[in-house]
A and B are shown apart, each in its own frame.
Chain A
Amino acid sequence: MTRQFLLDGQPVPFEDGQSILEAARQAGHYIPSLCWHKDFPAHGSCKLCIVKAAGRHVSACATPAREGWEVESNTPEMNGERRGLLQMLFVEGNHFCPSCEKSGNCELQALGYEYEMLSPRFRHFYPERPVDASHPDVLLDFNRCIFCELCVRASRDVDGKAVFALTGRGIDKHLVVNAESGRLADTDFSKDDLAAHICPVGVILHKGPGFAVPIGERDYDRESIRQKKLRDEEASS
């Protein structure tokens, strides 16, 4: 007998150990995320997947589904909190979408549209984060880092290199690379690493021809992040 919980009133079946987020996506319901990736254990840092389960706020990616739970996700309250979290991520870094090579393929930008973020609301922090252009194939633009640690995890757990890590604390937390010089060129990073292709925003950019696909014809120009992620999910199952 399959077990199920209710997501915004709709029954969602789940298997033992499956998280709320995984079960929901599998059943064709979108819960947003930035740090979650289907090939990695839940991270639970971005908090975009926040839902109310049995009255308590939890991360849908890190919370195993439970029989009979009533989960609120696509509600004005939860979407309002998500919009707030997105605004926080936008003011924390330096995000200049119109001039960014990742524009249209960026998950942060796409979620901004999805959750109708019309203003940054808060004061910008304008942190100083110099770019690293030392590597022949890849540019690191730390201004856009949202600390999802996907590059950290991919490099450490899949590429077996541990090229990236986080240092500092709190609002001063930042990404560093595995070299005394602090330069990506002095690491064993390669443009073929998984870590080179996993950034959901515009930190890890491949050098060479820019804007090969014109803005206006990119992933999230064609469809919303909700549609794309659900379609990806369907294709992979």
Chain B
Amino acid sequence: MHTQPPAALDSILHQHGHQPTELLQILIDAQALEGWLPAPTLTDIARALQLPRARVEGVAGFYSFLHTRPAGRYRVLFSDNITDRMLGNAELMDALCRKLWIEPGKLSEDGLVSIATTSCTGLCDQGPAMLVNGRAISQLTHRRINEIAELIRQQRPLDAWPTEYFHIDDNIRRRDTLLSLTMKPGEALAAAIARGRDGWLAEMQASNLRGRGGAGFATAVKWASARNAAGDTKVIVCNADEGEPGTFKDRVLLNSFADLVFEGMTLAAWAVGASEGFLYLRGEYQYLRPQLEAVLARRRAAQLLGADVLGQTGFDFDIRIHLGAGAYVCGEESALIESLEGKRGTPRIRPPFPVTHGYLGRPTVVNNVETLAKTCLIALHGGEAFAATGTAQSAGTKLLSISGDCAAPGIYEYPFGVSIARVLEDCGASDTQAVQVGGASGMCLAAYEFQRRIAYEDVPTAGAFMIFDGTRDLFEVARSFVHFFAHESCGFCTPCRVGTALLKGFMDKLADGHGAQADLADIDWLDRLLKNASHCGLGSAAPNPVIDTLQKFRPAYERRLVSLDFEPAFDLDAALAEARQLTTRDDPGAHLQTHEEDTP
């Protein structure tokens, strides 16, 4: 006996053409109906898409922003990057919980509101930040928290909240070639088309442009591989799943330079011969979607997208926006492709690589937002001009997302080769103890390394640049990143699934004052196993913050050790308290003698 899905769900299913590849998008839309995904809704979706229900449940359970239990009409998530913590997010969350009489992570009894934390929301330059039903609010203060508590209590719909809450600044502090570029939409594309596909790819080769997502793979080589791969429908994906803690450059590019990004995707399509494009937009940035759709519509109307782009017969290319839902691992390109296909974001076995077998088995290019925007410069001014800037191995400029202890956090564009010291001076940092470059998975640099330079050959980065002054505790910085990786591990492979959770346990043990020298040895051993044995970059990068801080800031760990030998993670005698209570005993015999010398 099959009942029809409710009308609202039915229309969502229709909107997405009943495509299994749209499963994640359908789940996101379906959740908007009631704020969560009740079990019958998953059953209805599975039936409509002719998928096993267990697979739908598998996907719904993977993404942090999808709820298979009631989560409240107001779902408040405090961004919990280390920079939010440094700006006092814990006190603010505590205050909001007290005002609304609820515990973190639990739904209020009337089903009105839940409050929890979430990984970095990409607003580190204007934190502390939160998401309310997916919408970003920055610059939280106690005053604003009071107002929000009142709005929730009065059950005011989000659309009726003061609009200034939802205002997000770009905070561009330094412009170089990319951020000072003024270009008419289509100008770069016309220049590339005039060169022909081969000529355009040759310019790309001459430019030495390398991927801005951090790994630094040569963009032209990726494009050429996809172009030469067998397969008719080739795909260009823009990776806007900017989840690395401390990174927010893509937010700014998508907010104020969307034409450059979409034009870059079209330039890639022209070189590769692709007809389908996706912008994979992280769930945290869904507030950008309406304006991005508007840019796409404008570009379609101007014949910059669609059939016969700019009048080139046979050059058909269009772009769709696909939302993520809170999963850092989807920034890994093969996990991102799985997610695009409507699946759990689990990284694939490689080879084969996406350039030959990507989205639905088709040749697929996955490029970072900034990489694609940069291709406009190459189309306009030529590859040689681009290659002439930066350093020999790192051509062009890099956008840095600067946050933490400095006077002017925000976006800074520098030619590659700039020193850490110069950046620190420009953003008004003083008494700097350490800089975390490249986010949680990047490098922690101590003061003696500040003459090092931002470049693939020295300090590579996707753009995060978090500054910690002399008052900060580098152990707590590393611990927050370890928590981040444990939360974001997809759980596919043993070392990362269990290893990140174990590492978190060890760091918490030290933080709780139960640390011993033996724990440092175990941490060291886990670090190595994670690095060696993990299935993807998430697992192998997860120990980086610990490795760096253990090496450079060891006293931050050692001052927490209570023993040079072994110390259990819990108090043995305290663990017996419940038994004592049950037996109403508290005599000396009901207590454990934990030290030999105490026994008479």
Contacts and interface: CB of A to CB of B under 8 A. Distances in A.
Contacts of A164: 54
A176 interface: yes
B494 A88 contact: yes
Contacts of A156: 52
A62 interface: yes
Interface of A: 42, 44-48, 50, 57, 59, 62, 81, 84-85, 88-89, 91-92, 122-123, 125, 146-147, 156, 162-173, 176-180
Contacts, number: 119
Interface residues of B, number: 42
B510 to A, nearest CB: 14
Contact of A170 (B40, B489, B522): B489
A169 B489 contact: yes
Given A44-B535, A179-B53, A180-B42, A166 B58 contact: yes
Nearest to A166: B58
A172 B54 contact: no
A167 B349 contact: no
A55 B535 CA distance: 17
A176 B54 CA distance: 7
Contacts of A171: 486, 489, 491, 497-498, 500-501
Interface string B465-489: 0000000000000000000001111
A167 B62 contact: yes
Contacts of A176: 54, 57-58, 61
Nearest to A173: B491
Contacts of B490: 169-170
B214 to A, nearest CB: 20
Contacts of A123: 502, 505, 569
Nearest to B38: A180
A173 B488 CA distance: 12
B580 to A, nearest CB: 22
29 contacts: A44-B493, A44-B535, A45-B494, A46-B494, A47-B533, A57-B533, A59-B349, A62-B349, A85-B495, A88-B494, A89-B498, A92-B501, A123-B505, A125-B501, A147-B491, A156-B52, A162-B52, A162-B54, A166-B344, A166-B491, A167-B57, A167-B61, A169-B489, A170-B487, A170-B489, A170-B497, A171-B489, A177-B54, A180-B39
B364 to A, nearest CB: 20
3 smallest beta-carbon distances between A and B, as pairs: A167-B61, A165-B54, A162-B52
Interface string B569-580: 100000000000
Contacts of A166: 58, 344, 491
A123 B507 CA distance: 13
Nearest to A156: B52
A128 B349 CA distance: 31
Tell me what chain B mostly uses at the interface: helix, strand, loop, or mixed: helix
B60 interface: yes
A81 B529 contact: yes
A88 B498 contact: yes
Given A44-B535, A47-B535, A169 B529 contact: no
B19 to A, nearest CB: 18
Contacts of B69: none
Contacts of B53: 178-180
Nearest to A187: B54
B501 to A, nearest CB: 4
A170 B529 contact: no
B491 A165 contact: no
Given A59-B349, A81-B532, A168-B61, 20 more contacts: A45-B493, A45-B535, A57-B532, A57-B533, A81-B533, A84-B529, A89-B494, A91-B502, A92-B501, A146-B494, A162-B55, A165-B52, A165-B54, A166-B58, A167-B58, A169-B64, A170-B500, A171-B486, A171-B491, A176-B61
B499 interface: yes
Nearest to B345: A169
B40 A180 contact: yes
Contacts of B569: 123
A170 B525 contact: no
B118 to A, nearest CB: 14
B43 interface: yes
A169 B40 contact: no
